[in-house]
Amino acid sequence: MRTFAMGEKARLADLTGATALRVEVAGTAPGADIAAFCFALDASGRIPAGRGPVSTARPASLESAVALVSGGGADAAFDLDLDAVADDVHRLLFVIASVGLEIGLHGASVAISADGADVAAFAMPPGTLKGQRALILGEVYRRDGWRFGAVGQGYRDGLDQLVRDHGGDPADVAPEAAAEVVDAAEPEAPAVATPEPQPEPEASVAPEAEASVAPEAEAEAVEPEPGEPEAAPAEHAAPVEPEPEPEPEAATPSAETAADEPPSVTDVPCRMPVPTAVTYEGSGDRILRIARPVPEGPVVAEITGTGAGNFAVWTLDAALEQDKLLVNEIGACHGRMLLDERGTHTERLKIESDGPWTVVIHPPTAAPWLTGPVTGDGPEVLRWTGPRTVVAMTHAGSSNFMVRAYAEALTPGEDPYLASLANAIGPYEGESIIPVGPCLLEIEADGDWTLTPEG
């Protein structure tokens, strides 16, 4: 059996010739229920709308290619038939999540076996999971055949944040503690369970519920060519109660958690409004007017392109002058980038594309937290709230690898640019110092990378 380190990947064909595998996950979180999930992602790295994960609420899916055969809570086993995985599924994420509001995971592991023989294993030491409430343990994905990767990416804000980060709707997921599934060798495909409401987050780290495009923002976008669809909210936007129509000059939408949602056992009596992400969808070349979820300072743009040709996105100021090149790729791509991190004010985005695209504008607090080792394979924005500390970084790509730190909020008279942590071309391994938080780290990369803060 091969033991994997965090971020390590390998071809499954080099580990076993079998295509029928068993994936077992385990985790500990004293005092809290744990649920296990298998999420399917498409070629752009997103959870397709309406495709819920395999869990106790839905023990089999993907044409029965994945089935939960035992457990479903702290210890669970999934049977995986690689030959039966749907063609549009490019990545399978194996996840555990703590249901408790403030109880983090203390330890977790994933193991793969074939024909009763152990093939691969990856374990997260308990000290690396402090404060994490959801964790991607491992992934099985397509790249010149099927591969396995040891991920170990934690989410302090829990399963909601994990699902939103992959373009999904938390309402499609029921994070209930698992009842034992004794025999699911030939499971019937059940109807998708009615989703339970998600627990509200800690007040200091409230994840943002995605909202539809503000009517004003959509109306002011440049008129599309005949036959081109209007930019519309993404289907995966989390459901929120509709708000009263804002005044025409309002450019900062906000939303309240739906007051008539039935409370869960872990719900908290808080109905404070939180900044709302704004989602736009379209196709082809556009000059897109955007609305900001916060009045000033940096925001996070999550951009997905699914065309086959060149895909480029620039920021434009009020004079329609280009300011920052956010994306310049060929083919499908997905990533997060900072807007207005140096005190500028983006009015629109110039999009050049030969296919569909999605743009989500998030408030800065929606960026994934850097609370332990984090891995990725493209552009990303991370949020750091700790003290000044050392961070170890690696990059396996062939082009630019840059990591820059910016202030999370603008302070009059002060430069929001804080530090350059890395600036290299090609493979990289080194250390630098993260400034005291809260701050935002913008990562530019074309290959696999890791960031590991000390302690």
Asked if the structure places residue 378 within a domain, the reply is: yes
Q: Are 257 and 275 in contact (CB under 8 A)?
A: no
Q: Tell me: do 172 and 28 sit in the same domain.
A: yes
Where in the sequence is the domain holding 298, given as residue range(s)?
208-238+273-364
Dihedral (CA of 76, 82, 85, 89) sign = positive
Q: Residue 420: give its domain's CATH number.
A: 2.60.120.380
Task: Specify the CATH number for the domain of residue 287.
Answer: 2.60.120
pLDDT the model gives residue 130 = 66
* pTM for this predicted structure: 0.45
Instruction: Determine contact, residues 106/31, Cβ cutoff 8 Å.
Output: no
214 shares a domain with 67: no
Residue 17 placed within a domain: yes
Same domain? 422 vs 378: yes
Greatest CA separation found in the chain? 65
* Token reading at 81: 């038939």
Answer with the one of 339, 364, 389 that is the final residue of a domain: 364
Q: Cα–Cα distance between 234 and 277 in angstroms, integer? A: 11
Note whether residue 290 is domain-resident: yes
Number of domains in the chain: 3
Indicate if 319 and 417 belong to the same structural domain: no
Return all residues near 33 (Cβ < 8 A) that are at least 6 apart.
Answer: 73, 98, 99, 100, 176, 177
Residues 291 and 361: beta-carbon distance below 8 Å: yes
Which of 364, 384, 415 is where one domain is finished?
364
d(CA 272, CA 284) in angstroms, rounded, equals 38
Q: Do 384 and 350 share a structural domain?
A: no
CATH number at residue 100: 2.60.60.30
d(CA 138, CA 38): 10
Whether residue 350 is found in the same domain as residue 374: no
Do 380 and 353 belong together in one domain? Answer: no
Residue 160 and residue 18 share a domain: yes
Last residue of a domain, one of 302, 334, 364: 364
Q: Are residues 159 and 280 in the same domain?
A: no
Same domain, 129 and 228: no
80 found inside a domain: yes
Q: What is the pLDDT along the chain (455 residues), one digit of tens a residue?
A: 889 887 788 999 999 999 999 999 988 776 667 888 999 998 888 888 878 898 887 888 766 799 888 876 668 899 999 999 988 899 999 998 887 654 566 778 999 999 989 999 998 766 666 667 888 999 999 988 999 998 888 787 788 888 888 888 887 775 443 333 333 333 333 333 434 444 444 433 333 333 333 333 333 334 444 344 444 333 333 333 444 444 433 333 333 333 333 333 233 333 334 457 888 999 999 999 998 888 888 999 999 999 888 999 999 988 898 888 999 988 899 999 999 998 889 999 999 999 999 999 999 988 888 988 999 998 999 999 889 999 999 999 888 899 999 999 888 878 899 999 999 989 999 999 999 989 999 999 988 999 999 97
